[in-house]
A and B are shown apart, each in its own frame.
Chain A
Amino acid sequence: GDSVTQMEGPVTLSEEAFLTINCTYTATGYPSLFWYVQYPGEGLQLLLKATKADDKGSNKGFEATYRKETTSFHLEKGSVQVSDSAVYFCAPQRVGSQGNLIFGKGTKLSVKP
């Protein structure tokens, strides 16, 4: 069945460090791919998305590219800030569903000044 494997945390970085959070998935067909971010005590917010192969989603300095060959959607940011501290979820969409998402386990990022 459809599944997602996300790099487990926690990840602790210093401010201005480079961030990569790996995400790979298995799916029948070609799902749309999403990254969501959750700040403490809040709901999830869409960070970025890509809907077809080679698409690059970007937002707030974060980027992820839809790699069909490797079924991956790794999240990257060149220079993290303290305010980026949050939990990040990779979420492919279940193909053929009514938009249902398959959530990874989440990666907690802590950025130290």
Chain B
Amino acid sequence: DAMVIQNPRYQVTQFGKPVTLSCSQTLNHNVMYWYQQKSSQAPKLLFHYYDKDFNNEADTPDNFQSRRPNTSFCFLDIRSPGLGDAAMYLCATSRGGQQHEQFFGPGTRLTVL
């Protein structure tokens, strides 16, 4: 089945220790999104790629970076995680443009000790 896969599902890191979350898709979609979702809140868009074009949200901290080496994979790098970065991180994909829905992965739960 075509899908969006996130690894790992659970990630524990230490305060200030860089961490990378990964997302892959078999849908061949143009757009890949990264969201941060804190408990009982709506997902917050951090950035997205349309093909190789990177689009950062204005309020995304510099501590968050992303890479998309090819169509299928996208990575979220947190350079120096703080306690406030503990959250669920969701990856999504879409064909882009209007009318097309986003397909979400199961998320990675990040804990910062």
Contact = CB atoms under 8 A, between A and B. Distances in A.
Please say whether chains A and B are actual partners in one complex: yes
Interface of A: 31-32, 34, 36, 41-46, 49, 51, 89, 93, 95, 98-101, 103-106, 108
Contact of B98 (A36, A46, A95, A106): A95
A101 B55 contact: no
Interface stretch (B13-21, B39-47, B74-82): B39-47
A70 to B, nearest CB: 21
Given A32-B99, A105-B41, A98 B55 contact: yes
Interface in B51-101: 55, 90, 92, 94-101
Contact of B48 (A95, A98, A105): A98
Contacts of B90: 43-44
Interface of B: 4, 6, 31, 33, 40-43, 45, 48, 50, 55, 90, 92, 94-107, 109
Q: Which 4 residue pairs of A and B lie closest in terms of their CB atoms, listed nearest first?
A: A43-B104, A103-B42, A44-B104, A99-B94
Nearest to B50: A98
A98 B113 CA distance: 36
Is the contact region of chain A dominated by helix, strand, or loop, or is it mixed? loop
Contacts of A42: 106-107
A20 B104 CA distance: 25
Given A98-B50, A105-B41, A45 B104 contact: yes
B41 A99 contact: no
Given A31-B98, A43-B90, A51-B98, A106 B41 contact: yes
19 contacts: A34-B101, A42-B106, A43-B6, A43-B90, A43-B104, A43-B105, A43-B107, A46-B101, A51-B98, A89-B42, A89-B43, A98-B50, A98-B97, A99-B31, A99-B96, A99-B97, A99-B98, A99-B102, A108-B40
